[in-house]
Structure 1
């Protein structure tokens, strides 16, 4: 399972800030490895809940997600689909169908900025399983590769998929990590746990309060690669949060900076000044996909799409040496921004 690695979008770290509080019994804290990263789960102890049993259930659930959706496991359901060259229907599990349907919906919402078939182009630029290219891909090679991509080349049914392009390659890395968070959250709810924190590689979903009675407080990292600093501290209620950024995962060649974030329409790394996007949504899967889509768009288009679709989002753009923060009207209505005075309480 540790060999399963998903595309890392530069979120970097979403981490908790704990204020001063009286001594409390310790929360249950379960940890493990999954999807090439780690997971953390926290909730209050209860006589009706066996933490060891919950831990086993979490590991089994995440193993199941990887067995279905990993592109690094050649025997996963998704890998077998990618190896399938026929136009005949390919049978899929209900879980994979559900994730694919959400990816298709977000493709439409984002005007094509989220495209789960763009993996071969990502590989051209050296941000997939392959190594960094010796030379920058030519326009001709990019166009040739783009011709084999496109969500319009798949047809989804209740329990199967048809690929109208035999070489179509699907990569769910922009959405599967958030899906894993949702799977664990629903597992906890089924066990009667209604106040919790679930985090996988920076994508997070919370409900209720900490044992101290305070809401879960989440810090969004300042989008700089030279240090770890806090941009904003927020309380998101019973929601998930996902962040996408391009300030850590990139390389430079001949004086040009190449981001790992590839525009599915141009087939080239993004070149705008939007450096970090954090989306708040009830579903971590949806937040995960939207964060990637919005940062690919750039500031102005991301603002328009967020307002049109009532997306709670915080955008951070860079202007010279300064960062400019913008929040959508839905963000302002649903999210509480914590002041430094509140953090100290």
Structure 2
């Protein structure tokens, strides 16, 4: 999965007593927390049906985890990767998730590729047996990375021999969308869903104010460098500090792989937070824009316009799109960070 350790990249302030900022909500929410998709998840929902909502969300996410896991031998993705034929019949949910993922892969011209799993594994980011692969090995594995060779039809996933899939870059976003639908179908107008780095803010707080979301500081993931006020959105973050190792050459290698080169990204970005109405879009683009780099990320945003971003670079500067600039505030201790509003 995209984030294999339980470090929250972006943590809703509602879940952190020490980080609550002027939170004065009324009514007792239904709450739940558990581990799924290789991370810790927490939910709070308000309203008459809140207990049922939280229970349904847990059940839905655990089912998605059972379908999308690359290590569970009963999952659809595991069966795809261990297939003995070109096509595998999968659950309709898996087919939908793969189909939506392929659409995003195409929209970002392959800088996100759900078939990059063999290379991610080769670097040791799956089993934590970190190593720097020989270039010849990477070149060999790159022949198996090409999302355009994956197709979905009538519940069948078809791909070339030796290709493998991983939905880690989209799984929590897809789960967020499913959770939001559960809230809507139960007329839940106020909920905050923390899917371990992907936050879904449903409506506003019961008192009518916006939710406050803290964006983790890459230098200290237990702290925040800023806060975003939002409602009815999904915010997802990818960071180079989430999972990495230092090689014998003294260089740091992060878990975000460029599927076009087979090597971990080494650019000017420290973290990318995407804010949109769609969970799978936010989750996927947080990785894709990280791979793109700042200039191409800004260009992609200008051409798309259906999401916003907060990018923290390694020079202590925040690049934030104009639509959410007024809703973002730096933490008091990080006032030295410069802000560049992208228009």
Separation in 2, partners of 1:21, 1:184? 23
Counterpart among 211, 224, 228 of residue 222 in structure 2: 228
Counterpart among 120, 123, 139 of residue 122 in structure 1: 120
Structure 2 matches for 1:303-322, cutoff 5 A? 303-310=298-305, 311-319=307-315
Counterpart among 18, 21, 42 of residue 19 in structure 1: 21
Aligned residue pairs total 324
| Pairwise CA RMSD | 2.2
Structure 2 matches for 1:72-221, cutoff 5 A? 72-87=71-86, 89-129=87-127, 131-133=129-131, 136-163=132-159, 165-221=160-216
Structure 2 matches for 1:271-310, cutoff 5 A? 271-310=266-305
Could you tell me which residue of structure 2 aligns to residue 336 of structure 1? 327
After superposing on structure 2, the runs of 4+ consecutive aligned residues of structure 1 that deviate more than 4 Å are 338-341
Cα pair distance change 1:12/1:218, threshold 3 Å? same
Could you tell me which residue of structure 2 aligns to residue 32 of structure 1? 34
Shift in Å, 1:62: 1.7
Cα pair distance change 1:50/1:279, threshold 3 Å? closer
Using the TM superposition, name which of 7-16 and 232-241 deviates more. 7-16
SS at match of 2:119: helix
Q: Deviations over 1:6-62 (max 9, x none)?
A: 54497623231533366833322222221122221112242xx261x3343223212
Cα pair distance change 1:108/1:329, threshold 3 Å? farther
Separation in 2, partners of 1:23, 1:97? 39
Shift in Å, 1:221: 1.4
Could you tell me which residue of structure 2 aligns to residue 325 of structure 1? 318
Could you tell me which residue of structure 1 aligns to residue 68 of structure 2? 69
Separation in 2, partners of 1:313, 1:176? 20
User: Residue 29 of structure 2 contacts residue 50 of structure 2 at CA under 8 Å; is this kept in 1?
Assistant: no
Shift in Å, 1:91: 1.8
Separation in 1, partners of 2:331, 2:247? 41
Shift in Å, 1:337: 2.2
SS at match of 1:326: strand
Cα pair distance change 1:340/1:315, threshold 3 Å? closer
User: Residue 272 of structure 1 contacts residue 298 of structure 1 at CA under 8 Å; is this kept in 2?
Assistant: yes
Cα pair distance change 1:43/1:86, threshold 3 Å? same
User: Residue 11 of structure 1 contacts residue 245 of structure 1 at CA under 8 Å; is this kept in 2?
Assistant: no
SS at match of 2:211: coil
Separation in 2, partners of 1:258, 1:18? 34
User: Residue 11 of structure 1 contacts residue 243 of structure 1 at CA under 8 Å; is this kept in 2?
Assistant: no
Separation in 2, partners of 1:204, 1:292? 15
User: Residue 32 of structure 1 contacts residue 38 of structure 1 at CA under 8 Å; is this kept in 2?
Assistant: yes
Cα pair distance change 1:274/1:339, threshold 3 Å? closer
Shift in Å, 1:127: 0.5
**Structure 2: gaps of 5 or more residues:** 14-18, 333-343
Shift in Å, 1:130: 5.4
